[in-house]
Amino acid sequence: MTNPDYDFSFDMAGIDRQALLEAAATEIDAQRGHLGEGGKLEETPEGRQTREYKNDQALLPSSPGIYKITDQAFLASNLKAPVRFTELSKRFNFYWISIPIGLMPERHWGFNLIEARVEFNKGEPPESLPKAYQILPNVQFQTLAKSETYMKVRLDENFELAFSTGTIEEQLGAGSGKIDAGVKTIAKAGLGFDAGPFVYHIKRAKIQHNTAGMEWVKWRLDGAEFFEGDNLELIVVAQVPKSTQIVTITAALQACRYFNYLGADWTAAVKQLGKDVLGFFKAGMPLRDDRVWSDVTRGL
């Protein structure tokens, strides 16, 4: 994954998902159903299931969470500012960018594949572009995660993301009650952003992403089931040249399912559809969301 214009596993350009699903449901009803009273075509179970997928939602936020990283971020955690951060901050500003993903899959069928992409200041001169300094979730997180995927994460003395593993009880404290994981735990009242540790959680999945240091990041999370209420959060520590006054983020999200997990009768009905439409269904009925977040560091 070296091309920032590389699209997702299925190209949704020009596809009206709602209209496609309705047309497919109508065709399934015509193939498998029969006419009822008054000559009206009756809805089949497979057609009904197809229509219900119109209610799926996979959404990016209206705006991401943005926190400027300063010396105070480390002092709030009783840490000395890393030497690397001190040196780099002479030429760059650093921002912790949190992107929660909202999922509402229909019919209790979770999404199995999540693809997301962010790009900084698309089309601007190379020397002014922000870079992704650190990325989360990342392959290191996947490697460390065993049976549980709750971990403590912090910015360490090398100004890198560091993880500590263990049981949920060890991470959160015995008797802690409700799990409160996410970037919100690192913005302390009256102190602003601090360097952690905070609890981060994501379902165990195969994680793929490009290397840090690029002006874009693409993630692919595969092999899990992502449901409504899952705490799915993408994080980038952005390195922004001090000469860059405006930071704009172009973001895209796509969520899909495993086609063969959706029931034998339904998949048999869908396989009778035309080749082009069948390609959409075999790709997992992708759901796409695109956003542009302008001037996200204003006032920070």
- Per-residue HEC secondary structure of 11-48 comes to CCCCCCHHHHHHHHHHHHHHHHCCECHHHCECCCHHHH
Cα separation, 280 vs 185, whole angstroms: 39
Q: What is the pLDDT of residue 247?
A: 98
Query: How many separate domains does the chain show?
Result: 1
CB 222 within 8 A of CB 203: no
Q: Which two tokens stand for residue 214?
A: 């690029």
Residue 153 inside a domain? The answer is yes
Residue 143 inside a domain? The answer is yes
Q: What is the pLDDT of residue 181?
A: 41
Residue 23 inside a domain? The answer is no
- Regions of the chain where pLDDT drops below 50: 1-4, 147, 168-169, 171-172, 174-185, 189-190
Residue 65 inside a domain? The answer is yes
Residue 179 inside a domain? The answer is yes
Which amino acid, residue 214? M
CA angle 290, 240, 255 (to 5 degrees): 20
Residue 261 inside a domain? The answer is no
Residue 199 inside a domain? The answer is yes
CB atoms within 10 A of CB 258: 16
Can you give the residue range of the structural domain that contains 240?
61-256
pTM for the complete prediction?
Answer: 0.87
CB atoms within 10 A of CB 157: 15
Residue 180 inside a domain? The answer is yes
Q: What is the pLDDT of residue 36?
A: 54
CA angle 191, 100, 166 (to 5 degrees): 75
Q: Which residues lie closer than 8 Å to 163 by C-beta, 6 or more apart?
A: 140, 141, 144, 151, 152, 153
Q: What is the pLDDT of residue 189?
A: 45
206 backbone dihedrals φ, ψ, rounded to 5°: -75, 120
